[in-house]
Chains A and B, each alone.
Chain A
């Protein structure tokens, strides 16, 4: 139950973080692998004042969240939204077969603790199926991951 709440919160947070029109440059789903994060405050003064540029968020659903506002960009339920934000780290963890981002994604999509090791192993074996190229988008990754889970006897209950 708490995991579900967590997952929801991640979804909400990332959708507010990418408060852009659907398909816009900062929309989570449009994010490709290795898109870089040059938008993060890199300015000396930004780090001095620990400033946030743009809308300060409070982890709230309210406000304009372009990406999922009309529901057209969600794939198999909103739980995949957070994936866009951690895609670089997730891809590396999947390639290696372990890591915090991999674990976070497993938690986010509700994989039970006893199945997480298996989830890591299965995604590791299917790296090239999930991450098909350097230009794969978060939406593609979510779809591919869903297919991989569907094909696995233990993981298919987590697929949409």
Chain B
């Protein structure tokens, strides 16, 4: 009903420009170009012939406009595939522009489209951002999708709302390497798909333990209607999926651009679209209302047991192992505390079982715990405190300038980093104890010398989740790129290619403020000062991290024994003061002990600025 009204209203307001001479002008209209997903060069981002009526992939905007006009009046053989049913947004717009005279056309019904619209009966839209999950910094890159809510989405039935997701359509037969390659470089077609929101809650909150952030958008019912018309046009249509730019988040911005062109959302995201940055763009455009936080299962569990004593943690664990001993285990626990304990035991067991194959014994215990939970008097349970909204974390990019001294030679250093966060950066809005750096480049200029590449990191990931009485996650790290090392006294520092990794453990000393970590490491190095140039090495890292009111600090010792006999040792001390949300001051001290018995010290003080 709404749709008809709006359509009629638009028809009245829009001047009729049926003249053929103006077709060219219309084809150049930004709205038509956005409907076809044309980029600035006039090429469509859609890689699917079926999306175009002009009979070939990548027709011009005018060819497609003419094709749609002609197809609209074609005889109806199957209303399901008729262009008027397949492309409702194009059809409506061409009607409004006077190109198509609907009254002159035979009336048709579009049963598939109408049924789908009846299902996705939405008047409101939220942008959903699942945040990173513990011990998987690669998830830090993030994801976004849209949720469509019906007008009367009463509390709880948000589960039944529809999620619109853009993702790669993966062929499961591919092996992992091919899969990674294709995912990053566009070998998989990307498609939009829709599913009930509860499946996304299960995927992110439960399976991946990612907190979800919901940003309600200020779209009117008419705008949601317009959006859905176009979403239907994208059903089963293939886009090339590119991890860095034409990804989920970019596609969503394009959709929102269609109805809110003045917000210029896609601007600046054509080279890389980091999901968190795209959420920021939407929030900064003033399109988002008050954020809703949907904590992950693990986050809720942590809040539930946060005030447990050691004795209660012991009882929780015992209850998980042997719920049949509940009478004995709960007898000493105050009645008002029992529900919390049983709930904790059940959650703990399910957290262990999520993602595992069906385990009959664990299921028997889970069922027994649910029965127990069912018998406990109810009391309000502790809920997680909302952490910093990821939108209020620092921007993804980084520019840094610094000055320092190495072995009594002064230098200045300039660095840029495409993304995202290292262990010394302020971590408000980011997961604790996780580092994900992509594309870091540093140039160094020594007084009286020349400008040299100091560092080129393709990727650096570190994850230092603390072990506790209940969880024993492994810490791990991976790094690949070019860096300078001291190979021999004659050549000084030389540039080498390296791939390194490590695994180990982290322990909290005092609830995430200070932690100790130790990792065993391995390394492959390509160094032209060595013969053979390719060497391997094993070593160890250990250190201490501290988070204070002023900022963060790390002290770390690294040892690396290469197979050619070289031994490298290095001590790092780094401290960062968080000056502002986007600004930091960092001081780093490095002591290196070389294989030939020599050593050198370096000090670097730098200003760091995060930017989009």
Binding site for B on A (CB under 8 A): 2-3, 5-10, 12-14, 17, 32-38, 40-54, 56-62, 82, 85-86, 88-89, 91-92, 94-98, 100-104, 106-108, 113, 124, 127-128, 131, 133-135
Report the bound CA distance from A41 to B207 in whole Å.
9
Cβ of A37 and Cβ of B170 under 8 Å apart?
Answer: no
Given contacts A8-B119, A104-B159, contact A36 B353 (CB under 8 A): yes
Give the distance to chain B from A137, nearest Cβ to Cβ, in Å.
Answer: 13
Given contacts A37-B355, A38-B356, A50-B168, contact A61 B115 (CB under 8 A): yes
Additional pairs, 11, CB under 8 Å, beyond known A44-B136, A134-B363: A10-B160, A40-B202, A48-B183, A52-B167, A52-B191, A53-B170, A96-B339, A96-B378, A103-B156, A104-B157, A131-B370
Report the bound CA distance from A60 to B160 in whole Å.
15
Report the bound CA distance from A155 to B179 in whole Å.
51
Among B121, B143, B195, B343, point to the contact of A57 (Cβ < 8 A): B195
Given contacts A36-B355, A40-B202, A49-B170, contact A2 B159 (CB under 8 A): no
- Which B residues are CB-close (under 8 A) to A97? 378
Cβ of B116 and Cβ of A60 under 8 Å apart?
Answer: yes
Cβ of A92 and Cβ of B119 under 8 Å apart?
Answer: no
- Report 17 cross-chain contacts, Cβ distance below 8 Å, ordered by A residue: A5-B121, A9-B196, A12-B119, A36-B355, A36-B357, A36-B358, A38-B356, A42-B355, A47-B208, A51-B183, A54-B172, A58-B236, A59-B194, A92-B373, A98-B378, A104-B159, A104-B198
The residue in chain A whose Cβ has the minimal distance to the Cβ of B121 is A5
Binding site for A on B (CB under 8 A): 112, 115-116, 118-121, 136, 138-139, 141, 143, 145, 150-152, 154-160, 162, 165-170, 172, 176, 179-180, 183-184, 188, 191-196, 198-199, 202-203, 206-208, 235-236, 241, 243, 247-248, 339, 343, 346, 350, 353-360, 362-364, 366-367, 370-371, 373-374, 378
Cβ of B155 and Cβ of A103 under 8 Å apart?
Answer: yes
Cβ of A96 and Cβ of B168 under 8 Å apart?
Answer: no
Cβ of A48 and Cβ of B195 under 8 Å apart?
Answer: no
Among B183, B192, B364, B366, point to the contact of A45 (Cβ < 8 A): B183
Top 5 closest pairs, chain A to chain B, by CB: A103-B156, A50-B167, A134-B367, A104-B159, A49-B168
- Which A residues are CB-close (under 8 A) to B199? 17, 85
Give the distance to chain B from A151, nearest Cβ to Cβ, in Å.
Answer: 18
Cβ of A14 and Cβ of B196 under 8 Å apart?
Answer: yes
Among A40, A94, A101, A103, point to the contact of B203 (Cβ < 8 A): A40
Among A89, A102, A131, point to the contact of B367 (Cβ < 8 A): A131
